[in-house]
Amino acid sequence: MSLKNKVAFITGGAIGFGYAFAEALGREGASVVIAEINIEGANSAVARLQDLGISAIALPCDVSDEEAVDTAIAKTIAEYGGIDILINNAGLHLTKYNLPFTTLTRSEVRALFDVNVMGIVNCSVSAFESMKSRGGGNIINISSMAGNMASSPYGVSKMAVRGLTIAFAKEFADAAIRVNAIAPGLMATDSAMADLPAAMVTSIINDMQFIHRQGEVADIVNMMMFLISDKASFITGETFKVSGGAALSS
């Protein structure tokens, strides 16, 4: 797939899925923007991408901060002329946020919803006019299998991502913008592997997944690349589980 002359804005792209999305899109010719709260990490990611011959810039951006998002989108338009692909990937997750409502402080719950839910609203609304003016494009939201059960604050935030995906798909359809989400199971990003107890990882693979291998970052990248391609031109508003069956076992 050629993405020459396309511009991708990726939130939380310094590491993990976000970096892998940037590299995959860049290898197909897209210019990529790493919009990050961790600007040092974003700068290192951009250096790695540029070493691969990919056109990339890093922009400081806390997705929960409406003004910071508007500024990053405006800088993207100034630098690259517009946006065709928006990947709403940045999220608060892992052990710290997979706790009950009565364990987290109310401000931690608010931070979770500000980033995981309002972050998607901020970026989608802010990118809309540019995407529309370029004849449409694709938005990919990163949900989670935890949004299936929604039995934790994190799960509720990721169930909301599914709702946002439907709402924005409807609202943006006439601008030829397709909006879809991916709900990963447990995938081997560095942060997930460093954070989660090994026994939990083994139990998810052996007891919950139907396919008993570690989910890899590439599994999520492959779904993202399909969803932004013309092969998915009749698909919008959907959330696709990529979890080796884990999301179906409880």
Ligand X SMILES: NC(=O)c1ccc[n+]([C@@H]2O[C@H](COP(=O)([O-])OP(=O)(O)OC[C@H]3O[C@@H](n4cnc5c(N)ncnc54)[C@H](O)[C@@H]3O)[C@@H](O)[C@H]2O)c1
Instruction: Report the C-alpha gap between 126 and 231 in whole angstroms.
Output: 27
The catalytically annotated residue of 19, 80, 97, 154 is 154
Give catalytic status of residue 154 as yes or no: yes
Do 129 and 148 contact (CB within 8 A), yes or no? no
Instruction: Report the C-alpha gap between 159 and 110 in whole angstroms.
Output: 16
Q: Please state the separation of Cα 58 from the chain's center in Å.
A: 16
The one among 23, 62, 84, 219 contacting ligand X by CB under 6 A: 62
The one among 64, 98, 236, 239 contacting ligand X by CB under 6 A: 64
The one among 17, 80, 128, 168 contacting ligand X by CB under 6 A: 17
Verify binding: residue 99, ligand X, rule CB under 6 A. Answer: no
Residue 220: CB minimum distance to ligand X, A: 8
Verify binding: residue 18, ligand X, rule CB under 6 A. Answer: yes
Stretch touching ligand X by CB under 6 A, among 1-9, 73-81, 185-193, 198-206:
185-193
Amino acid letter for position 156: V
Residue 242: CB minimum distance to ligand X, A: 9
Where in 123-162 is the site for ligand X (CB under 6 A)?
142, 144
Number of residues binding to ligand X, judged by CB under 6 A: 29
Stretch touching ligand X by CB under 6 A, among 49-57, 84-92, 170-178, 226-234:
84-92
The one among 3, 63, 159, 227 contacting ligand X by CB under 6 A: 63
Do 19 and 45 contact (CB within 8 A), yes or no? yes
Where in 204-243 is the site for ligand X (CB under 6 A)?
none
The one among 186, 208, 227, 242 contacting ligand X by CB under 6 A: 186
Amino acid letter for position 4: K
List Cβ neighbours of 212 (8 Å cut-off, separation of 6 or more).
205, 206, 244
List Cβ neighbours of 220 (8 Å cut-off, separation of 6 or more).
17, 20, 142, 182, 184, 187, 242
Verify binding: residue 41, ligand X, rule CB under 6 A. Answer: yes
Q: Please state the separation of Cα 240 from the chain's center in Å.
A: 13
The one among 24, 192, 242, 246 contacting ligand X by CB under 6 A: 192
In sequence order, the β-bridge partners of residue 10 are: 34, 87
Structure tokens at 204: 């998810």
Q: Is the dihedral of CA 210, 213, 215, 216 positive or negative?
A: negative
Do 219 and 225 contact (CB within 8 A), yes or no? no
Verify binding: residue 9, ligand X, rule CB under 6 A. Answer: no
Binding site for ligand X (CB under 6 A): 11-12, 14-18, 36-38, 41, 61-64, 89-91, 93, 115, 119, 142, 144, 184, 186-187, 189, 191-192
Query: What residues act catalytically?
Result: 154
